[in-house]
Chain A
Amino acid sequence: MTAIPLTYYLVVAAFLLCAGLLIVLTKKNAIMVLIGIELMLNAANLNLVAFSRNDPQLNGQVFAIFSVVLAAAEVAIALAILLNIYRKYNSSDLDDLNTLEH
């Protein structure tokens, strides 16, 4: 069986990244933004795994596993922050969270 060419992985990963970025920039709900961030992280993980094919030490795959663990922790903390925000502002809409505005 012939191996799937590296380019395919990269295209899929780019597509994921762009999709995630689109979600992050366009969705109003904070949870949807978090989902977009997860997509972008996964695109990066896919790239790490794909590139590690040429690395006999498999550093890329090890890095990807760390990244998955970190993503889980990050989501847990982010959801906790979001809960607290919701309690304070009664909203999870990012347009309402504008106290940094001038």
Chain B
Amino acid sequence: MSNPAIHLTLVLLLPLAGGILTYLSGQSMVRRTALVGMVPGLIAAGMLLFMSNDSSITIRFDWLPGHSLGWQVDHVSAVLIALVYFISFLVHLFSLHYLQHDPSIHRYFAKLGFFTTSMLGLLAADHLLLVFVFWELVGFSSYLLIGFWFSQEDKAKSAREAFMVNRVADAGLLIGVILMVMVLDQPFLSELSAVSSSPLVHLAGIGLLIGALGKSAQFPFFGWLPKAMAGPTPVSALIHAATMVAAGVYLLFRVVPVLSPLVMGLAAILGAVTALMAAIAALTQHDIKKVLAYSTISQLGYMVLGVGVGAYQASLFHLWTHAFFKAGLFMAAGAVIHYFHELRHDDHEFDGQDMRNMGGLRKVLPVTHLVYLLCGLALSGLPFFSGFLSKEGILSGAWIWASQTGLWAYVVTDMAFITAFLTPLYVGRQILLVFYGEPRTVVERLQGMEPLWKVKLPLLLLAIASVWVFSAINPFNPTGWWLNAYLFSNDIFRAPEGFDYIEKLTFGLSVVLSAGGLLVSYWYFRPSRSQAYSNAGVPQTWYGRLSYRGWFMAEVYAALAKVYDALVMLSAWFDRKVIDKAVNAVGVASVVLSKAAAIFDREIIDGLVNLMAWLANLVGRLFTGIQSGKVQHQLVWMMVVLLAILLWFQF
């Protein structure tokens, strides 16, 4: 396999091919065919890491004469491709357990393969048009996966809503891509260079930013991600933790060279706002997956903030660490949901995702509990876990940025720090409510809930990856380990001269905030208190409802849809009353004009022709009198004419 093009094609297409094979061979063969594409693909993706080690794999080909498209796999792409493959492989494994009783499981694997290929294509694409194509494919395949249980109307509706919100943001991306390709002439991601001459740079940057905000579920688009929890939980682990939502951050990371300071500032503000809003929303959710959904939004907000403040290496690093611990959390949540589904599969009223029904699960799901704990601590940013390393980079980047930008920028930084306190709060709350205390429903140990290969292996792998050693050798400093050396040649964001104190302060503050958040959560949800939680209803205070309903994003979208509806009605009315009337008036005017023209034609043109005919007739009639046919009349005329001629010559 020396040819990089063939190798790359294989890497990209193997998941899809495996998915198609699984689909065609049917439900009964799923156990044997589900991993056919993933295992060789995973190996090939691993090889890709070494192939692109010395120099990036760049493939250019002519699409149309004068227009070339291209792929490029540099270190970042290779690492992310391997990451996507790894998570996707674990999700394939876990899905075999999670969906074992589903009659259309083969369709599920086909969609999963399709999604994985789309995501890989997005990571390998170099030309912005290809990026856009795969971007849309990712959106479409995620729509298929969210709506996997499409026979349940509310889930199909959620899939539709998620897709539509993405489509709205994609319009922004399309504008950005068109501007970049057609106007700014910078179609290749690997060859971007700063252009500041044209004011269109701002517009293109904002367009790309809107696209990224939509895909990464940032304010004001984040309403779709909680809705997307309607899909199977392994799908949430893959799509809404590690891959699809990371696409927005990845795109921002790639286009950083052309982002103007204005767009960067906007990204920082929106990222911080989203991080804070989503963290607040996560505090009051009852649904185990909704907490994770809002926490994902919040963490993605961190990444967007990181790009905005210029610490984009830290953002990418956070994307990497977040992919593992969030996928682990989602899969562990899936194990919990699956457990309740098996336990109470006769009871259709029972909500297996509602944390009010949980509690004390550490005894029945020990491995899940351990994994949830490790990944949750990584999410809350405790030292010795991966989340601490990356989040600290973003926070110190934001602080340094604020100190260089101005006083107002500290608001953004403060929001990020408040979020850093809220994150352990909701993580602790969830872990305590789900796994500790006394069970709030009757639970018992079930056999085969945590099979070794399909559940323990993926969960434990993800939990191990959430500990610091996987991402950095030094638990307090991400530099100097293979990942950073490979990704950035150890050129990670460092504080400029004179800002060392900020790094140290951030370091201390992060530890204090995360530990404090966990302690506060323990105070409020300690096992002796958690029994009362089973009666907790929907929050009644205004701030509680604001948080529980996710800042009423669904209502905002509905209102926007209403406004849109009204606009449509208005334009319909305008069309009917004004445009149609104008058209009709033009029609009437043309009828009148043609009538007038007809009259003119008939009376004047025809009249002239008729006059000529009448004149000819008159002359003819005049001379028929001469031609009486009588000899003597002709003789008279001859005489008259002769006399006339004679008279003429005479005088």
Interface contact A97-B631, CB-CB below 8 Å? yes
**A26 CB to nearest B CB, Å:** 8
Are A101's CB and B635's CB within 8 A? no
Task: Choose from B624, B627, B630, B639 the contact partner of A94 (Cβ within 8 Å).
Answer: B630
Contact A94 B628 (CB under 8 A): no
Chain B residues in 8 Å Cβ range of A95: 630
A33 contacts which chain B residues (CB < 8 A)?
A: 632
Contact: B629 with A101, CB < 8 Å?
Answer: yes
Q: Number of contacting residues on A, CB 8 A?
A: 13
The CA of A82 and the CA of B476, in the complex, are separated in Å by 150
Do the beta carbons of B628 and A25 come within 8 Å of each other?
Answer: no
Q: Which of B589-647 contact A (CB under 8 A)?
A: 624, 627-632, 635-636, 639
Q: Does A100 contact B (CB under 8 A)?
A: yes
- A98 with B630: CB separation less than 8 A: yes
Q: A102 to chain B: which residues have CB within 8 Å?
A: 624, 627, 629
- Closest A residue, CB atoms, query B630: A98
Partner pick for B629 among A21, A25, A26, A99, CB 8 A cutoff: A99
CB-CB < 8 A to B632: which residues of A?
24-26, 33, 94
A14 to B25, CA, bound (A): 134
Question: Which A residues, 59 to 102, have Cβ-Cβ distances below 8 Å to chain B?
Answer: 94-95, 97-102
Q: Closest B-chain residue to A26, C-beta based?
A: B632
Cβ A98 vs Cβ B635 within 8 A: no
Complex CA–CA separation, A21 to B629 (angstroms):
19
Tell me the minimal C-beta distance from A101 to chain B in angstroms. 3
Interface residues on chain B, number (Cβ under 8 Å): 10
Residues of A within 8 A of B630 (CB): 94-95, 98, 101
* 8 A Cβ contacts from A1-38 to B: 21, 24-26, 33
Measured CA separation A97–B629 after assembly (Å): 8
The chain A residue with its CB closest to the CB of B629 is A101
CB pair B624–A25 under 8 Å, yes or no, is no
- Closest Cβ of chain B to A59, distance in Å, is 24
B631 touches A94 (CB 8 A): yes
| Chain A residue, CB-CB nearest to B639 | A21
Chain A residue nearest to B623 (CB atoms) is A102
Q: How far is the CB of A31 from chain B (nearest CB, A)?
A: 14
Residue pair A25, B635 in contact (C-beta under 8 Å): yes
Q: Are A101 and B628 in contact (CB under 8 A)?
A: yes
Q: How many angstroms from the CA of A102 to the CA of B626 in the assembled complex?
A: 10
| CB-based nearest A residue for B636 | A25
List B contacts of A98 (CB < 8 A).
628-630
Give A30's nearest chain B residue, CB to CB: B631
Return chain B residues, CB-CB under 8 Å to A26.
632
CA distance A97 to B630 in the complex (A): 7
What is the distance, in angstroms, from B624's C-beta to the closest C-beta of chain A? 6
What is the minimal beta-carbon distance from B204 to any residue of chain A, in angstroms? 92
Give the nearest-CB partner of B634 in chain A.
Answer: A100
- CB nearest to A101 among chain B residues: B629
On chain B, the residues within 8 Å of A21 by CB distance are 639
How far, in angstroms, from A33 to B634 measured CA to CA in the complex? 14
Provide the residues of chain A in CB contact with B627, threshold 8 Å.
Answer: 101-102
Give the one of B628, B631, B635 with max A CB within 10 A. B631
Contacts of B635 in A (CB 8 A): 24-25
**Other 14 A-B pairs with CB < 8 A, given A33-B632, A101-B628, A102-B624:** A24-B632, A25-B632, A25-B639, A26-B632, A94-B630, A94-B631, A94-B632, A98-B629, A98-B630, A99-B629, A101-B627, A101-B629, A102-B627, A102-B629
Give the 9 A-B CB pairs with smallest separation, nearest first. A101-B629, A100-B629, A98-B629, A102-B627, A25-B632, A94-B631, A102-B624, A98-B630, A25-B636
Q: Report 5 cross-chain contacts, Cβ distance below 8 Å, ordered by A residue.
A: A24-B635, A97-B631, A101-B628, A102-B624, A102-B627
